[in-house]
Structure formats: structure tokens, C-alpha cells
Chain A
């Protein structure tokens, strides 16, 4: 140990006593606590905002995926379906007695055919025609089902 160092260590021995007389101000802890609370609040808000943004992103992605899935699903060709059902219906024997439900369906079918014709006449697009063809398919489906029941009953 050099002379300089031993000299300083002698001096330093007195240092703790001189510094020990100093104490932090009484309001230091309240200031520290207030800053800590404020930062904690800010961090909490930032986390909430980040969480909210993440949630919004997830919802947006979910919606986008759902839209994509719907877009990717091939649309039903209601017109072709209705025509196929009509062919099936024609292949069945003509009923001997008229069923009231069948009469109701046939009546609506006639009305629907009128609407379809009117729509084609005014140059309607597929967005307007599709619901009409869909309804026609549903009615033909119902008629087909009734006609099959009648055929079955007549055999029994």
C-alpha cells in the first residue's frame, strides 16, 4: 500500500461520520411513492390499451377469416337445383287425389313463376333472381316429398 493510500484511508475513516450526519429530506419517500404510483398507473393504461388493440386485431382477423370462408364457399346454383327437382317431380306418377298442402305449394309455385318471369322481363340481376329460384327449389322440394308419401301410401 502506498503512502498516499494509507494517508487517504486515515482520512476516509472519518468520512462515514461526516456523511452519516446527513439524512434524506422527510418528503423524499412521499415523492418516490407518488412517482411510483403514477408510473404504475401509466403502465397499467398502456397494458390495457395494448390488450384492447390486440383484442380488436383478433376480432378483425376473425371477421376477415369468416368473410373469406364465406367467400370461398361455392354459391348454390338454385336455378339448376330447381330444374333438377322439377325433373324428379315429373318422373313420379300423377297423384289421384289432390292433397291440400300440395295444392297450396302448387299455388305459390305458380305465383312465384309469375314473379320470376316479371323479374327476367325487367332485366333483373342474379342477386334479385337467386332468392326467387331458392324459394322455387324449396317449394319443389316440399312437393316432391308430398308426392313420394302419396306414392308410398297408394302402394300400401
Chain B
């Protein structure tokens, strides 16, 4: 009902969709970008794109899944637009973002760990590990080979593991 109204361009229906999916959309963009302002901009962009393309939504997939993919695509487009993330090799990408120092407070928080990854690596970790995207899907989304996303994911997880281990060790020392 709401979708049918939205497909006719009804603003009240769009507002209802925002109330239902706006928060999830924001959380996904926040995970992808790690920063509040770009995340808000991406929600803005994703909703505008959804309002323009909802006429073509035929219900092949649940609306939430369709919209999540649209949001992920918007996020990946944003990553492509970031100069520092564009066309960078795996090694160079990780070298550009220095390994993080452990949190002095000994806090182990996945979100703060992800903040220490290069943007594209962060997006791949979020989409693969949290959103369930396959390497084939990521390869298509990023316009790269599957081995590219596998390689970035392996490097990212290695770094996260090392950082988590260091943070855990420093927490133990503080406790003693």
C-alpha cells in the first residue's frame, strides 16, 4: 500500500518509508564511512535515488533488501569519489592508513577498530562481514576482481586482529 503510493510520488508515503528505513540506512552509511557528516549525506543521496527509481521496483526482492543494496551502491560510489581511495593498490592503501595505536583506555570496540582501516577496506569488511555480501557481489560493486576484495579483506582482518590483541594486552596490564 505504502509502496504503491510511493510509486505514484506521494510524499507522505516517502516519509513513512523514511520513518521505517531511515535509521537502518543511516547506520549502514555510518558503518561504511565511519563519519557522521558523510553518512548523513549518503542517506540524503540514497533516499533521493530511491524516490527517483522506486517506480522501477517490481518486488523481485523485499523492499528492505532492495533499498539496502541501493544504499550500499551509493556508499561505494562515494568511496570511488574519494581521491585517496581511488585506484589504490592493496599494499599502498594499507600503508596510507597507518596502523592504529591501541586505545589508551583499553576499550575494545569494533567501531573504533574499523575507524583505523582505509575507507575502501572498511567498506569491504562491513559489507562482507556484517551485511553478508559475497566476494563475487563485492567484485561487481567495486568493478574489481574477486581476488581484489579477498585480498583487502584478509589484510583488513589481519590488522584488526593485531590491533584487538594489542588493546587486549594493554587492558590486562592496566588491570594488574
**Chain A contacts to B: CB under 8 angstroms:** 2-5, 7-9, 11-16, 18-20, 22-25, 28-29, 31-33, 35-37, 39-40
Give the CA-CA distance A9 to B10 in the complex, in Å: 41
Q: Interface residue tally of chain B, by bracket? A: 35 or more
B149-176 vs A, Cβ < 8 Å mask (1 yes, 0 no): 0000010011011001100000000000
- For this complex, 16 residue pairs linking A to B, each with C-beta atoms less than 8 Å apart, are A3-B161, A7-B160, A7-B164, A8-B129, A8-B164, A15-B111, A18-B110, A23-B23, A24-B23, A25-B40, A28-B22, A29-B15, A33-B11, A35-B48, A36-B11, A37-B11
Give the CA-CA distance A90 to B109 in the complex, in Å: 118
Q: Is the interface of B mostly helix, strand, loop or mixed?
A: helix
- CB of B125 closer than 8 Å to a CB of A: yes
B23, closest chain A residue (CB): A23
B71-114 vs A, Cβ < 8 Å mask (1 yes, 0 no): 00000000000000000000000000000000000001111011
- Report the minimum CB–CB distance from A42 to chain B (whole Å): 12
A19, closest chain B residue (CB): B27
**Chain B contacts to A: CB under 8 angstroms:** 9, 11, 14-15, 18, 22-23, 25-27, 30-31, 36, 40, 43-44, 47-48, 51, 108-111, 113-114, 125, 129-130, 154, 157-158, 160-161, 164-165
> Which residues of chain A are near B40, meaning CB under 8 Å?
24-25, 28
